[in-house]
Structure 1
């Protein structure tokens, strides 16, 4: 169930992942600007955050964008060939440990306003670079999606079994082609 809910069973390539992540970020910034009327990056970030926390629309859209971003990353992890159930849980644990470390040791935080450490920021950078640059696994061992025209057992269809006379292929491979000895 969680596989379908969080996109653990789906795949997305590098370019669609990058475009979808960029579009999600631009869309959220446009929504915040439209609701608050304050453009981001003008030096009044505290005013923008105060306005944003008072708007139910922005709070709901923030959590929706967070869930969509989590699903996109899970799909990209599946496309790379890693197991998203374990990788994403480890990633959430790393973010939580980073936040606790920045709270306990404020000297290691990026700035006094940040809730993360420098090591956590570098780990986030490495994570995003891996998601954007790591090639797809392309393994043919993955089950093929259900084909509407075939007779299949369940959602995944089995790989087709080889047909025909295989003894002829083995004779050709052993040099018995053409009747010469």
Structure 2
């Protein structure tokens, strides 16, 4: 049990999340996702969570495991071409995780997703939340365009707006 991590998570407030992601930033992220999805058959979701609480926190749930839970809860896995991608930020840990469905995961190496996450985390260390997420979406878009370009019959299977948890 990591007491410092528990305290850090319990001290993150909704106000801190809203300051990092004000409505204008959320709108810009949503626009980036919409623009992204116009160029490929994939689906991109972004979720941010201030901190964990309760049993998951005290059991030491990792950001990766939480991202996998959300991948399921947000139904990112449930797309026609198996090309859903979740970008998840756990603000208390300043940790980014990308979970990709099997269609795109088979085409993009894990270290590429890892690289995108670290670039986003670097931007967040500078408090550049909007820029970090938008650049992350743009990088993910590049992979989706390369492997699953638009076929002209793309339907928007998942909501584009960011999820604040």
Question: Which has more strand, going by share of residues?
Answer: 2
Provide the TM-score with structure 2 as the length reference. Answer: 0.32
Provide the TM-score with structure 1 as the length reference. Answer: 0.29
Larger-gyration structure (1/2) = 1
Question: Which has more helix, going by share of residues?
Answer: 1
